[in-house]
Amino acid sequence: MGPVTGPLITAQALQVLLAEEVAGVTVLDVRYRLGGPPGAEEFRRGHVPGAAYVDLDRDLAGPAGPRGRHPLPRTEDLQRAMRAAGVSDGRPVVVLDDWSGHAAARAWWLLRFHGHTDVRVLDGAWPAWLAAGGPVEQGPTTVPAGDFTARPGGMPVVDVEGVPGVEVLVDARAPERYRGDVEPVDPVAGHVPGAVNVPTSSNLAADGRFRDATSLREVYAAVGATPGADVAAYCGSGVTAAHDVLTMEVAGVRAALWPGSWSEWVAEPGRPVATGATSGRP
């Protein structure tokens, strides 16, 4: 696939890669939805030929606790899971899901954070693959083990102690959760004081694909997330925030991820909470 020129790849481009370089690209299927059908079952019903299934809860997160509902996995655990899925250091990776790229963005971020330099997310997710007439394979798969070596530090990250000092803190959740109107998952509603809201739905066009880079730059510039600014993103548990980080990468903005996110913030009573709409930090 060659050096990464952007974090996204089209279904058509992936078809070409699979046809011309059957042994040259690793495809990871990270189908996952909160409250949805089991991803492994959906994978067996149909997937990109040669893809390996990756379970988000098991492979891309550590046990829930004070660091949040989906804390980062231990480095050795991620390395083991990625090797089992066929990931190698010198082999490009394409990640997809059926959740508009949210789970795939988590896998993309983790691999990039742990040193893999050639990772892309399938633009438009599984529906785009089907719409493009991509071949579909059914049943379980077995892939040769990879040799990926996880080396943390490849992407910026911020912890809960550093969050108050972030210049532009982007909340990726739906507006009603950001405002504190509803909170279906965590015990406290609202957002981190001074955070700005760019829900992941803002990243996508009507067809489920990512909006063009120019439009995305405008969306994020409106909240102060511009190239060179100190930017970090969070969500409920650190999964969908990776979607905003990925999108800002498309827009030319390097942003840190706060893995613990809101679930970590409210795990300790007494941390300040804001509700309603705010315009960012003074």
Active site residues: 235
Round to whole Å and give the CA distance between 108 and 113: 8
Tokens of 165: 């000092």
Quick check: 98 and 126 in contact, CB under 8 A? yes
Q: Which residues are within 8 A (CB) of 141 and not within 5 positions of it... i.e. 6 or more apart?
A: 47, 50, 51, 52, 53
**First-to-last CA distance in the chain?**
44
Q: Which two tokens stand for residue 226?
A: 């511009």
* Contact of 29 with 90, CB cutoff 8 Å: no
